[in-house]
Structure 1
Amino acid sequence: MPAEAEQRDATSLPDEPQTPWRTYDITSTIALGKVSGKTRIWLPLALYKDTPWQRSLGHGWQGNFASAGIYRDPVAELVVFYADWNVDTTAPQLQITSQVAKRDRHFDITRRGSAAERSDVLRRCLQSSNLVPTDGLVRRTAERAVGRIKDPVAQGKAIYDWVVENTSYDPSRPGVGRGDIEAMLDSGHLSGKSADISLLFVGLCRSIGIPARPIFGQRIDSSRLFAGLGATGNLSTAQQCRAEFYTPGYGWIPVNPADVRKAIDEEHLSSSDPKLIVLRKLLFGFWEMNWVAFNTAQDVSLRGSNGHALPFLALPQVETAAGRFDSLDTSRFSYTVNASRVEG
C-alpha cells in the first residue's frame, strides 16, 4: 500500500503542494433476478465536465442487454448510463467500467480572482426543492447561525460550524439518507447520514442568499485522515454527499461537514480533541481525492421512466413492467463496485 494511504491521523496531515493526479478504474457489476417483462436500469456516472480536481476519462460496458448508452442533462450536471433488456431476458447482467482521474481539492482564502459562475447556475443554486425549502424555519435557523456577519465567506463558515455543532451522524440510516431538512429541523433531531447533513448545509446557505449545492458521489479509496473516511473492497454502499457554496471572487468553496460528524461518531472525538479541531478546520475548504463526484441533481426524473421523481440519484435504479425496484433489495438486485488505481 502506498505510504500516503497509511496516514490516518488528521493532526499530522502535512502541508503539501497540490497533489498529483491519481487515476482509478471503477467497475460496477449488476445482476438482476425475479424480473418479468422489459427491464431498464439507470446508473449515475462521474461528472462529465472536467474540474481542477476531477476528470472523467471514459466508460466501457458489457452485458446481455438489448441496448445501452449514456445521456446527459447539462442543466443538472447529470450523467446517466442506461441499459434495456427485452421481455425474454430472465437474468439481466451488466458490467460497466469508468476511468476517473482525481486529486485533492483545496480552497485558498488568500487567493481571489476566480472566474465568475454563470448567472443561471447561481439562480438554480438558490432555489428551493422538495427536500430543501428555503423559508420559514430553515431561514430563521440560518439567520441565527450567521448573526451579524456580512462577509459571504464568513457566513458560509458560520453555517458550516453550526451544522457541525448541531448535527449527529447516524449510521443506522440506509443508503445516503433522505435529506428532508425541514423535517429534521421541525423535529429537533438533526441526525442522519451524509446527504442529510450536507443538504442541511445547502438549505441554510440558500435561505440567506448564498448559492450552494450538494455533490453526490462515492468513496473509492482509503483516507489519509481517518480510516472511516475512506472505503476499500466492495464500494456498493460507500455513497457519500459533500457540498459547496459560491462567493464572488473565490468561486465555489468545498465543504464536508458530514465527514466531520462521521469522524466524531466513529473516533469518539470530544469537542476539545486536537484531532477534531484540525479536522474541522481542514474540511472547510478541502476535499480528499478518495471520492468521485457524480452530480448535483435534485428532484431527478429518470429519462424513460414511468415512476416518480427521485430526491437525488446516487444508487442504481431498476424498473420493470411491475414498477421500480428497491435498490437495496439484495434478493433481487446484486450490486458490487470495485475501484483500482491505474499505475503509470
Structure 2
Amino acid sequence: MNTTRRHLLQASASLAAAGAAPWSFAAEASRRFDPQPGAWRTFEVTTRVDLEQGDGPTQLWLPIPSVNTGWQLSLSSTYASSGEARIAGDSAEGARMVHVEFAPGANRWAEVTSRVQTRNRATTWDKSTPVAESPDTLAYYLRPTTLIPTDGIVRKTALKAIGNATADHQKAERIYQWVVANAWREPEVRGCGEGDIKTMLETGNLGGKCADLNALFVGLCRSVGVPARDVYGLRLAPSAFGYKELGGNPLNLKGAQHCRAEVYLKAHGWTAMDPADVAKVMRQETPQWIRDLNHPLITPVRQGLFGGWEGNWVAWNTAHDVKLPGSKKGPLGFLMYPTGEDKEGRFDSYTPDLFKYTIRAREV
C-alpha cells in the first residue's frame, strides 16, 4: 500500500473513532482567499532556548526581523541570556540575529523578543506602480548561490517553462504556474526542506516544502533575467480566510517557519509570490490530496498568492549562504530557524524537542 493511501485510511479511521462528522469537499469549497492591504497588525515574537549543561563552549544564533518595507516594519528586538549576547548580522546578506556565547559548564538559556508590524499585500495588476530599485540590488538578486544555481538544468527548465514570453511579468507568471503544476508538497521532508534545486531537477523529484519549492521558483526566475529572492520567516497567527494550513498557532510556533518569495517586476516593483503554499493547500488542507488546480478550494489560493500575501507572518531576512559570526562551520544555506553549535558540531534545528527551543507570538 503506498504511503499516501495509508495516511488517508489512517485519517479516515481516526475520524470514525472520534465520531467526527464526515468530511466533504462541498463543506470546504466555500473558502475564499483574498488578502488586501489594510490596517497594520503588531506582534511580539518570543524565542526561548534552554540547553542542558555542557563541558565545552556553545553558541546560538537566533534570527530577528531585518526587513522594513511597505508590508513589514521591524520595530525592536530585546534579549536576555545566561551567556554573552549581542545583536549581530551577516554584513553581506543583511540577516540579523542575536548571537549568544556560553562558557563551558555554564547554565545555558537565552530568550529573544521581537516586535514587528505586518499587513496584507496584493498587486493591482491592471495598474502600473513602478518602484525604483538600484541596478546593483537587481544584479544581486540575479546571482547564483550555493543551493540556487542559474545555469545548466535550471536555465534549461526555465526556458521551457516560459516558452515565448519576453516580458518580466509573463516570465514570472509562467514560472509560477509551472512550479504549481509540476512540483508538490511532500509532508515527509524534514523541516522546510533544504532548497537544493539542482538536485531536485536532476533527479526529477520535485516534492518538497517551502524552502524547496519557493527556491525553485526563485532560481528559475533568476536564470531568465527576472530578479527574485526567497524571504525567510515565521507564521504568527491563524489565517483570516479559514485555511488551516496558511496560519500558525501563536502559543506554539515550533514548525511554523515558512519561506515566501518575491520577484522584481518593472511595472510593480518587488511583488509577492508563494507557489509553495498553493502546493501545501493542495496536499494538506483536506484529508484528500487535491490534484485539480481549478478546484474551488485551490483556485482562490493559486490566484491570491500570485502577487499577494496575508500579513499573519513575519519575515526574518532574504539571506542565502549566511555566514554566522563566530561559527566554526561553513555558511548556512539560509537562516530561518534557531541555530546552535558546540564542540560536537552544529545542532539539528529541525528537532526543537531535542535542540530545546520554543517560539510563541502575541498580537498587541
Q: Does TM, normalized by the shorter one, top 0.5?
A: yes
Aligned to 2:40: 21
Distance between the aligned counterparts of 2:151 and 2:133, measured in 1? 24
Q: Which residue of the other structure, out of 91, 94, 102, is the alignment partner of 1:85?
A: 102
Q: Which residue of the other structure, out of 315, 325, 332, is the alignment partner of 1:310?
A: 332
Distance between the aligned counterparts of 2:352 and 2:33, measured in 1? 38
Contact 1:130 1:299 in 2 (8 A): yes
Distance between the aligned counterparts of 1:330 and 1:262, measured in 2? 22
SS in 1 for 2:62: strand
Aligned to 2:93: 76
Residue 157 of structure 1 and its aligned partner are, at CA, apart by 0.4
Distance 1:118 1:109, change over 3 A: same
Residue 114 of structure 1 and its aligned partner are, at CA, apart by 2.6
- Identity value in percent: 38
Aligned to 2:6: none
Distance between the aligned counterparts of 2:92 and 2:276, measured in 1? 26
Distance between the aligned counterparts of 1:289 and 1:10, measured in 2? 22
Which region of structure 1 is more displaced relative to structure 2, 243-252 or 186-195? 243-252
Q: What TM-score, normalized by structure 2, do the two folds share? A: 0.87
Q: What TM-score, normalized by structure 1, do the two folds share? A: 0.91
Q: Which residue of the other structure, out of 45, 52, 57, is the alignment partner of 1:38?
A: 57
Deviation track 1:169-188 (CA, whole Å, cap 9, x = no partner) reads: 01111111011111111111
Distance 1:309 1:170, change over 3 A: same
Deviation track 1:321-340 (CA, whole Å, cap 9, x = no partner) reads: 33322224556521110101
Distance between the aligned counterparts of 2:91 and 2:73, measured in 1? 16
Distance between the aligned counterparts of 1:10 and 1:201, measured in 2? 29
What residue identity is the alignment partner of 1:25? Answer: E
SS in 1 for 2:219: helix
Contact 2:29 2:296 in 1 (8 A): no
Count of equivalent residues = 331
Aligned to 1:57: 75
Distance 1:128 1:186, change over 3 A: same
Aligned to 1:249: 267
Residue 210 of structure 1 and its aligned partner are, at CA, apart by 0.7
Distance between the aligned counterparts of 1:75 and 1:42, measured in 2? 17
Distance 1:112 1:301, change over 3 A: same
Residue 175 in structure 1 maps to residue 191 in structure 2: yes
Q: Supply the RMSD in Å over aligned alpha carbons.
A: 1.8
Aligned to 1:298: 320
Distance between the aligned counterparts of 2:342 and 2:32, measured in 1? 51
Aligned to 1:262: 280
Which region of structure 1 is more displaced relative to structure 2, 260-269 or 68-77? 68-77
- TM alignment of 1:160-309, pairs within 5 A: 160-225=176-241, 226-232=243-249, 233-266=251-284, 267=286, 268-269=289-290, 270-309=292-331
What residue identity is the alignment partner of 1:308? Answer: G
Distance between the aligned counterparts of 2:306 and 2:293, measured in 1? 17
Distance between the aligned counterparts of 1:68 and 1:193, measured in 2? 32
Stretches of structure 2 that go unaligned for 5 or more consecutive residues are 1-27
Distance between the aligned counterparts of 1:332 and 1:176, measured in 2? 17
Residue 287 of structure 1 and its aligned partner are, at CA, apart by 0.8
Distance between the aligned counterparts of 1:205 and 1:333, measured in 2? 35
What residue identity is the alignment partner of 2:32? Answer: S
Contact 1:36 1:321 in 2 (8 A): no
